[in-house]
Amino acid sequence: MPPSPSAGARPPSGPDSSRPGIVLASTSAYRRQLLERFGLPFETLSPHIDETPLPGETPARLAERLALAKARAAARQRPEALVIGSDQTAALGAEIFGKPGTIANAAAQLRRMSGNEVLFHTAVALVDGRDGREQVDNVLTRVRFRRLTEAEIHRYLEREPALDCAGSAKCEGLGIALLDALSGDDPSALIGLPLIALARMLRAAGVELP
């Protein structure tokens, strides 16, 4: 049974019914909520890909490769659609931080990031199943963490266990209190889906946006 359109998305009707379907190759609630800002109907699919970094792969290249791999995987299921893939890595030098999965891992990540600038690479890819065209972009966000005490780390994780976020902190929630500063070209990128870059890609694919 095919997945139903994402909650809150409008089914196509009238003259819009001729446009290609849009698929988000992710089951992330954060990415779904961000994409809903465009007011376009879309569905979500889980891409099921191996996210293991390749030997010597840089954090930026890893995010780009996985974003495109997710879009390609979902495009094989929806060959006539516009398929969006996205991935994010958090890096301190060559050290890459993924989703912590457990409170212990999240606490360890925050101890490591404490007092340091962490680079978040958020890649987005758009695969057009109609002609095979692929677009990829990568948005960098610099995040400087405060010097965190053990008590602050544990209080934060008790109130907002960010186990599904690379870097173990939600900047759109209480995690903003862990930071000294952040800078980047797109505030939505750090949440998980760079909407400015994605809007540019969708317009290039013929989708009308304001």
Q: What is the C-alpha radius of gyration for the chain, rounded to an integer number of angstroms?
A: 18
Token pair of 88, please? 């994010």
CB 40 within 8 A of CB 20: no
Tokens 């996205």, located at residue: 86
129-185 pLDDT per residue, tens? 999 999 999 999 999 999 999 999 999 999 999 999 999 999 999 999 999 999 999
87, 128, 137, 186: which is the annotated catalytic residue? 87
Does residue 5 sit within a domain? Answer: no
| Residue 7 burial by Cβ neighbours in a 10 Å radius (0-12, 13-18, 19+) | exposed
**Segment holding 64, helix H or strand E:** helix 59-75
Output the domain CATH number for residue 169: 3.90.950.10
Does residue 137 sit within a domain? Answer: yes
Query: Does position 17 have pLDDT exceeding 90, yes or no?
Result: no
Domain containing residue 155 = 20-204
CB 121 within 8 A of CB 138: yes
Domain count, the chain: 1
Does residue 121 sit within a domain? Answer: yes
pLDDT score recorded for residue 94: 87
Does residue 82 sit within a domain? Answer: yes
Q: What is the mean pLDDT of the chain?
A: 91
pTM of this structure: 0.88
How many helices (H) and strands (E) would you count in the chain? 5, 7
pLDDT cut 70: percent of the chain above it: 91
Does residue 12 sit within a domain? Answer: no
Instruction: State residue 67 phi and psi, 5-degree precision.
Output: -60, -45
50-97 pLDDT per residue, tens? 999 999 999 999 999 999 999 999 999 999 999 999 999 999 998 999
Q: Alpha-carbon distance 97 to 107, whole Å?
A: 12
Does residue 80 sit within a domain? Answer: yes
**Is 87 annotated as catalytic?**
yes
C-alpha 10: how far from its chain's center? 22
The pairing of strands 22-24 and 43-44 is parallel
